[in-house]
Amino acid sequence: MELTTTFHALKEWSVAVNALESGQTIMLLRKGGIHERGGRFTVAHERVLLHPTYEHQQSFMLKAEYADLVYPVTSGWHPETTRIGSWAEITDILPVADESIVSKLLPFHIWNEYFISDRLKWKPRQPLYILLLRTYKLPQVQYIPYLPEYGGCKSWIDLNQQVQLEGSKAVLSDDVYGKLVETIRGIIV
């Protein structure tokens, strides 16, 4: 049965969501939010809306071409409405603990070497999770009201409304996405 609506969302930096939506990356690097169950990152849902966040974006952790795209905000700030323009299928979840392997992935994501080093040092016994996402643009952007339960350092939220997925278009072709996945898997495995 084909998924036609969802209310499950993955929170990610707005600059990363924009890069996924424009086909500049298919990769996210995660260790999990402070409020993750058991303090560990897990994938709660394989098909998720991409929910942009702003508060924890740090331009100094991004490659130069993305650093200027960060909208600086004060702690606790959030928009009154959130733009939901895409959803993704998480096709691969690849745990990596070796910094040299993660460094080889640098051309495939938006973060810089400092971000990689910082993430590997935080909770050093836990791997960094490489998520590969097949991103789809919604046929019509949705604006949802911000609710307090969407806040906090957590990766996964359930929106209070369903979002229609029918009519969505893949950002990258099957061929382009498949080749990127194959290359990235080749580096990791």
Amino acid code (one letter) for 177: Y
C-alpha distances out from residue 176 to 27, 91, 188, Å: 14, 14, 19
Q: Which is nearest to 30 in space by CA: 14, 41, 17?
A: 41
The first and second tokens of residue 174, run together, are 């099957």
- Threshold 0.85, pTM exceeds: yes
Alpha-carbon distance of 29 to 111, in angstroms, equals 9
Specify the DSSP element, H or E, that contains 101: helix 99-104
Torsion, CA 50, CA 31, CA 175, CA 51, rounded to 10: 0
Q: Which residues pair with 48 in a beta bridge?
A: 88
Per-residue model confidence as pLDDT tens digits over 67-125: 999 988 887 788 899 999 999 999 999 999 898 999 999 999 999 988 888 888 887 77
Per-residue model confidence as pLDDT tens digits over 47-62: 999 999 987 888 999 9
